[in-house]
Chains A and B, each alone.
Chain A
């Protein structure tokens, strides 16, 4: 899908022009607010070192600080609206270009318990955030995907450090075969911990050498794992993996396939300090959407020749 074609539409241009006014206001106030805070800190420091008339410096610093807070809080509401408008007015229209059924719900994401139940990753998150749920149906396959950021913490004495379990997009689609248990395909890591809460999980050694090089497969049923991971599907997974920045993970669970695509940035967010009226505005987001929409075709999920409809 070409972002230029979409951006050149009159209706889109109008919306972007309106939003550009809001954006400039938000950007201006954020800059002022930041300058005030820096000034407040600077004045505080100067006052501390000069040691005379400290009260004056402290009062000025405090008032700058309070002004900054007031300005900042005046725009948080506007900023939230601005982001939501971008998703509901611009991104939603982009999605309709792929299929009428596709919609975005910015405030909702993938549920945390669904994330942990898929066993895509061996660690349970201590902090979890998900947003921008996109749902739809292409031909016979219904799907949804959303941004997920899951982290775990380690504490050494008094300090806690946060580490990423996963940051990116998790894509979920109705799978075209019936299966009962769970099978997980994880990226090979040097020290992979196989802690999971499927019962009787075993490693499944598959025949495709390139596949085994990149992934390790775990399942609670050796035959079912091979029923799902046919030689054809393994090849398709490898080609899907080549379009991702980092190695993907897959989980076949509860009649669906879950695919985790690691992506470093926060997708579908409007710029604050760059103009909206820029031909490259949607380039990165459209690349991500193109990739997601191609999955159903890549994995041939619309072929329904087994007992699952």
Chain B
């Protein structure tokens, strides 16, 4: 009789643990799609930005073309995760240097549409950063669950794999020198 109760208790704990690990894994997917949503919001700003800049100057053509090209590539939908991340970071970099260059055009700098776009862009970047942090927190939460006892017992049984956090690329880690940006 006692054995049945003990076995029953163990079974219940097992079910609880398994469900908990699965729900943490699903939370990672959820957090990943939250990043996607923010990235899409940022993408949608780009056409307007390009239009406004075009109206004021012919000097940034090369950068603008590169930006449009990257955006088309990103929204084509047939990239894998690493490629997508890569394109996304290149895009970020191009827009950043564009905005620095726009400091040279006082009319454009003061233009209301541009100022609004710039503020929305900054907000968008911060929201993406927040979504990435949230994703990393979900990953850490899941990894904690499958690497600590008793979760690790289940992990090996059902082959739950450790997930990876989003890290900056080497490109992003390099210190930016203002001199390079203004060349």
B97-144: which have CB < 8 Å to A? 116, 119-120, 122-123, 126-127, 129-131, 133-134, 137, 140-141
- Is A205 engaged at the interface, CB distance under 8 Å to the other chain? yes
Q: What are the interface flags for A293-309 relative to B under an 8 Å C-beta threshold, 1 for contact and 0 otherwise?
A: 00000000000011100
Contact B130 A306 (CB under 8 A): no
**How long is the Cα–Cα vector from A307 to B127 in the complex, in angstroms?**
12
Contact B131 A223 (CB under 8 A): yes
**How long is the Cα–Cα vector from A205 to B31 in the complex, in angstroms?**
14
**How long is the Cα–Cα vector from A230 to B129 in the complex, in angstroms?**
9
**How long is the Cα–Cα vector from A104 to B51 in the complex, in angstroms?**
50
B30-59: which have CB < 8 Å to A? 31, 34, 38
- Chain A: residues with Cβ within 8 Å of the partner, total of 16
Residue of B nearest to A230 (CB): B126
Contact A305 B130 (CB under 8 A): no
Contact B134 A305 (CB under 8 A): no
- Is A236 engaged at the interface, CB distance under 8 Å to the other chain? no
Task: Give the residues in chain A near B120, CB-CB below 8 Å.
Answer: 307
Contact B123 A226 (CB under 8 A): no
Which of B119, B127, B137 is in CB contact (< 8 Å) with A205?
B137
Residue of A nearest to B125 (CB): A306
Contact B126 A306 (CB under 8 A): yes
Which of B123, B131, B140 is in CB contact (< 8 Å) with A177?
B123
Contact A222 B134 (CB under 8 A): yes
Which of B119, B123, B130, B141 is in CB contact (< 8 Å) with A223?
B130
Which of B31, B34, B123, B137 is in CB contact (< 8 Å) with A307?
B123
| Other A-B pairs beyond A223-B134, A227-B130, A305-B122, 19, CB < 8 Å | A177-B123, A177-B126, A205-B137, A205-B140, A205-B141, A207-B133, A222-B134, A223-B34, A223-B130, A223-B131, A226-B129, A226-B131, A226-B134, A226-B137, A227-B126, A230-B126, A230-B129, A306-B126, A307-B123
Lowest 10 A-B CB distances belong to which pairs?
A: A227-B130, A226-B130, A306-B123, A226-B133, A222-B134, A223-B134, A223-B131, A223-B130, A307-B123, A307-B119
